[in-house]
Amino acid sequence: MGKILEIKNLTKEFKEFTAVKDVSFFVEEGGFFSILGPSGCGKTTLLRMISGFIKESSGEILIKGESMSGIPPEKRPVNIVFQSLALFPMMNVRENVAFGLKRQKLSKQEVDERVKDMLGRVSLHGFEKKKVTELSGGQRQRVAIARSLVMKPSILLLDEPLGALDRKLREHMKIELKLLQKEIGTTFIYITHDQSEALVMSDKVAVMNKGRFEQIDTPRNLYKNPKTAFVAGFVGESNRFELTDYSDHKLTTENGWKVEKPNLDFTPKVLYIRPEALIIEPTDDIADLFKFEVVIKTILFDGSNTKVSAIVTSSKDELLISLPQNAKFEDLKEGDKVQVGVNYNDLKCYKE
Ligand SMILES: Nc1ncnc2c1ncn2[C@@H]1O[C@H](COP(=O)(O)OP(=O)(O)O)[C@@H](O)[C@H]1O
Ligand SMILES: [Mg+2]
């Protein structure tokens, strides 16, 4: 599998404002690559440059090794699915999906075959004659994807395509989309501000902040080893502490909590600890553990995602701790004093 897309030092300036700053990355053929970042960080601008709707200020876009410089959008082997979907409301499902093919002046037979095949793949067989206005949100979503995929693009670009759906349907669609991508094998580049969408679906994720890529990694690595404070804070849940000192292998939080962290070769400004990295009542056989005492403040019951809010006895710092749903902790209640441990490796420290 080679690189289907390669981006080199891509920058986009709007007057004085730089929306995309010196972004470089590549995407493997058949991959599911996500670009994850908060609203306004430059995701759509980046996608528009890849599709050719706007011109880069500098840098290079290669698709299958070929420079896209000067190639208009309709000549690029890419297709976009927009958040708004942009379906034709007056047309039925079949006509929506056939639209692009008809413009290519293909034979009626070929159009019919390709539309039928694609509707089958997105589980919309039998919906040909329905108006798109008669469909559910999830079905409309699939029509939009079918309409793009039927054109057989080398790369499908998806700009927050699940943004308009309600939570439940979004959960369902992200699993469907991943399965669909696997089955069809088209390279997907998916942009979203929703970290869960990016983590669940992608082979690789780029985390974008203020026009720059902060880290490109597998979902697991992003979560396990965030390279910057921004990534640590944006991907997954974390307890965050501002630091005032690092000496004698101890970090000091603003409230004066001394957190043991051996062998750092720099002085960090901020500490992140994931709720599930905190172990309640750790057994003595676990190595490399920093242990401390907390008082339970509240139990935030949420099924398998239940957490407790706890106060560090020595400093009054507050933190969230994941609570495994097993009998051992069933009697835990407000006001209880408990020992908590965290592995040194799970104390994530950053310069800023
Ligand atoms: N045509 C434009 N002219 C000026 N600024 C723009 C233009 N398009 C986007 N921007 C700015 O670039 C930044 C990134 O926008 P966008 O790429 O849409 O972000 P995202 O998709 O991540 O929410 C925003 O601050 C936006 O206001
Ligand atoms: Mg956008």
- What class, spelled out in words, does domain 237-350 have in CATH? mainly beta
Cα–ligand 1 centroid distance for 39 (angstroms): 9
- Measured from the CB, is residue 42 less than 6 Å from ligand 1? yes
Same fold: 3-233 with 237-350: no
Residue 87 CA from chain centroid, whole number: 25
Per domain, the residue ranges of the chain are 3-233, 237-350
Residue with CA closest to ligand 1 atom 9: 45
In angstroms, what is the span from residue 320 Cα to ligand 1's centroid? 35
Q: Is the CB of 195 under 6 A from ligand 1?
A: no
* Pocket test residue of 10, 13, 14 for ligand 1, highest count of atoms within 8 A of CB: 14
264-287 confidence digits (pLDDT tens)? 999 999 999 999 999 999 998 888
Closest ligand to residue 41's CA: 1
Q: Rounded to whole angstroms, how far apart are CA atoms 208 and 230? A: 9
Which residue's CA is the closest to the ligand 1 atom numbered 7?
14
Q: Which of 110-119, 158-167, 270-279 has the highest mean pLDDT?
A: 270-279
Distance CA(140)–CA(134), nearest Å, equals 9
192 CB within 6 A, ligand 1: no
CATH fit for domain 3-233, picks 3.30.470.30, 1.10.3720.10, 3.40.50.300, 3.30.365.10: 3.40.50.300
d(CA 68, CA 76): 7
List, for residues 53-108, the tens digit of each pLDDT value: 999 999 999 999 999 999 999 999 999 988 777 888 889 999 999 998 988 888 99
Distance 342 CA to ligand 2 centre (A): 38
| pLDDT number for residue 156 | 95
* CA end-to-end distance (rounded Å), the chain: 38
The structure tokens listed for 177 are 């989309």
Q: What is the mean pLDDT of residues 285-299?
A: 95
Nearest ligand to the C-alpha of residue 161? 2
pLDDT above 70 covers a percentage of the chain that reads 100
Q: Which ligand is in closest contact with the Cα of 160?
A: 2
Residue nearest (by alpha carbon) to ligand 1 atom 6: 14
Rounded to an integer, what distance in angstroms lies between the CA atom of residue 246 and that of residue 218? 31
Atom in ligand 1 nearest the alpha carbon of residue 193 = 22
What percentage of the chain carries pLDDT values higher than 90? 76
Give 172-199 pLDDT, tens digit per residue: 888 888 998 998 899 999 999 999 999 9
Mean local confidence (pLDDT), 315-321: 97
Q: State residue 169's pLDDT score.
A: 81
Q: Which pLDDT band, with edges at 50, 70 and 90, does 261 fall under?
A: very high
